[in-house]
A and B are shown apart, each in its own frame.
Chain A
């Protein structure tokens, strides 16, 4: 069983569209994250949720809206997609917000055309 799973793996869409990426973890963790990996392969945190509560919002445009229906799921909805949103988006989870190990999903490669 995959510990942290994201869908879809690939997403190609036109500018201006709205799209969602889903993430689920079966590790029983309390904390989930979204990270963005840009074209230079640099990874940066976007959001984190702990027990369905937003903990970190790293000055991401408000076109990006995370939603956590329960502890095991953290979805990312993106409105009015722009060319610059093209990147690989990674979901991750950890036991809590303390000193625990983070586990990452396989990533969603978003291409905006």
Chain B
């Protein structure tokens, strides 16, 4: 059974710091891995999608990596800003288009 874990559960950093969020999964038979952002009381915003054959994807200050064999993904945020404060969710895509989510990392970036 696929399980997705995100560490840490919560993270508080000062503005400008580079940071890494971690995601691990137990079964390497995935189609893809997707990182989302969720603001309080809002929906999920897709940040990056990495296909199972890819090693990383970049969008602006965000870089996500995928090591399928070890069951790990990281989301790197460069030069963090207070507007980056949100919950970040990692989800692995499996058969049928189903996404299996981690519990999320709640990020707070202090001015």
Contact = CB atoms under 8 A, between A and B. Distances in A.
Contact of B98 (A42, A45, A107): A45
Interface in A26-70: 31, 33, 35, 40-45, 48, 50, 55-56, 58
A92 B39 CA distance: 17
B101 A44 contact: yes
Contact of A99 (B31, B41, B91, B100): B31
B40 to A, nearest CB: 10
Interface size class of A (residues with CB under 8 A): 20 to 34
B96 A107 contact: no
Instruction: Summarize B's interface: helix, strand, loop or mixed.
Output: strand
A104 B34 CA distance: 12
A53 B105 CA distance: 34
B93 to A, nearest CB: 7
A82 interface: no
Contacts of A98: 31, 97
Contact of B97 (A44, A55, A106, A109): A55
A100 B97 contact: yes
Interface string B83-95: 0000101010101
Interface of A: 31, 33, 35, 40-45, 48, 50, 55-56, 58, 90, 92, 94, 96-107, 109
Given A43-B89, A97-B95, A101-B34, 7 more contacts: A33-B97, A45-B99, A56-B96, A97-B97, A98-B31, A98-B97, A109-B41
